Structure 1
Amino acid sequence: MPQLAMRGAYLCCKTHSRAWQLRHNTIQDCLARAIPPPMGKVAINSAISGTDSQLRPDIIITNEDRKKIIMVDVTVPFENRTPAFHDT
């Protein structure tokens, strides 16, 4: 039964997944553009340099002078589904 539920969830979400991805990427790009240059070098959807990790955070801000790395992973809930998407 759990496999059937997962299959149903996949089929239901597949229809809207492109719209969700576009909304996520729009917000991600807006956030990345808002980061002031003094904070550091901004990379979007890139592997973490200097590691063998396969993870790709949405936004990575690297400031080598301050020896800081900030990783941001954007999460966008859809509470109102399609109406909320069209309102944005």
Structure 2
Amino acid sequence: MVFRLHEQEAQALEVDRIYSEHYGRVPNPAERAFWSLQLLDGRSLAQAKEYVQLVNDAVFEIYARQPTYDELKLYTQLLDQGLGI
């Protein structure tokens, strides 16, 4: 259990770097939690970077705000199914 918590924090730092590089900001708590768990569960860093950009850009274009946890989950599932956003 301790190892998983440490590993999740390491993945959360990767998520922080993704957001810093793409958006010049830190991720909101929902974004950080969602993507760090995705990385921990085996999603590649390259795919996470791609999905972060696709999902965040789509939600901002549609709603003019950052995505919620549920939106991250929904749009990631759509992308995983090859359906796009």
TM bucket (normalised to shorter chain) is: 0.3 to 0.5
Give the structure, 1 or 2, with the largest relative contact order (CA under 8 Å, sep 6 or more). Answer: 2
- Greater gyration radius: 1
Write 1 or 2 for the structure with the bigger share of helix.
2
**TM-score normalized by the length of structure 1:** 0.34
